[in-house]
Amino acid sequence: MTTVKSNKQPFVLALTGPSGSGKTTIGEKLAKKLDKCVNIDADHIKHMIPSGFYKDDKNPGGWSFSEWELAGESVGLLVDNFLQKGYSVIINGYIDPPVWKEITKKVELTHKILLKPNVIENYVRDSKRTEEIRMGQAAIDRHHAHFTLEDFYKDFTKLDTSNQSVEESVNAVIGIMKLEQSKGENL
């Protein structure tokens, strides 16, 4: 395995997007490719708080989550710990702005990338998932609207992963980060 080494300060990459955009897969592959880097899947943190999930008939998909701030604070503490040990960190997940706001109380997000395939590609990807994790068209539409309309994501770099392989998407993320580095950011 080839790793990309860096002499720069550790970075924090926020990698988000709608369900099926490739966040988890790309985050995992990217962390393996970069030197001294960890991948935090924010969904794992959310699922540590089972009482935060509740049945919500108003929400496409039928469920909502009430503990966004606690999840964000927990992720922020975890990220800070890794940074103190000299690790770079990728935070991947479908998480709402309150989580990012809590995280940024603890650490600076040095790179912010929004993976956003077209909605048709999301339907196709979702249809290939097992039934217990399939989102359905209404939830995918809600996710796309969220990432399109929410002002919080306006300064995230958008990456359309519709027609890219995982490796192409990983390389595109690295390219974005290098471009940001050349503009004075960390990598």
| Residue ranges covered by each domain of the chain | 12-177
Strands 37-41, 111-115: pairing is: unpaired
- pLDDT of 138: 85
Q: Which two tokens stand for residue 76?
A: 């922020």
Share of the chain above pLDDT 90, in %: 60
- pLDDT of 60: 63
Q: What is the pTM of this model?
A: 0.86
Mean pLDDT along residues 152-164: 94
> Given a cut of 80, is residue 160 above it in pLDDT?
yes
Residue 55 and residue 26 in contact, taking contact as beta carbons nearer than 8 Å? no
Q: Is 3.40.50.300 the CATH number for 12-177?
A: yes
Q: Can you tell me whether residue 90 is helix, strand or coil? A: strand
> In terms of pLDDT, which residue wins out, 131 or 92?
92
> In terms of pLDDT, which residue wins out, 158 or 53?
158
pLDDT, mean over the chain: 88
Residue with tokens 């980060």: 177
How many Å apart are CA 28 and CA 41, to the nearest integer? Answer: 9
Residue 134 and residue 126 in contact, taking contact as beta carbons nearer than 8 Å? yes
Residue 69 CA from chain centroid, whole number: 16
108-150 confidence digits (pLDDT tens): 999 999 999 999 998 998 899 888 888 888 888 988 898 999 9
Mean pLDDT along residues 71-82: 95
How many Å apart are CA 51 and CA 47, to the nearest integer? Answer: 9
Residue 91 and residue 12 in contact, taking contact as beta carbons nearer than 8 Å? yes
pLDDT grade for 42, boundaries at 50, 70 and 90: very high
- pLDDT of 187: 45
> Given a cut of 80, is residue 84 above it in pLDDT?
yes
Going by C-alpha positions, the residue among 177, 124, 115 that lies closest to residue 147 is: 115
How many Å apart are CA 3 and CA 30, to the nearest integer? Answer: 9
DSSP, res 22: S
- pLDDT of 8: 66
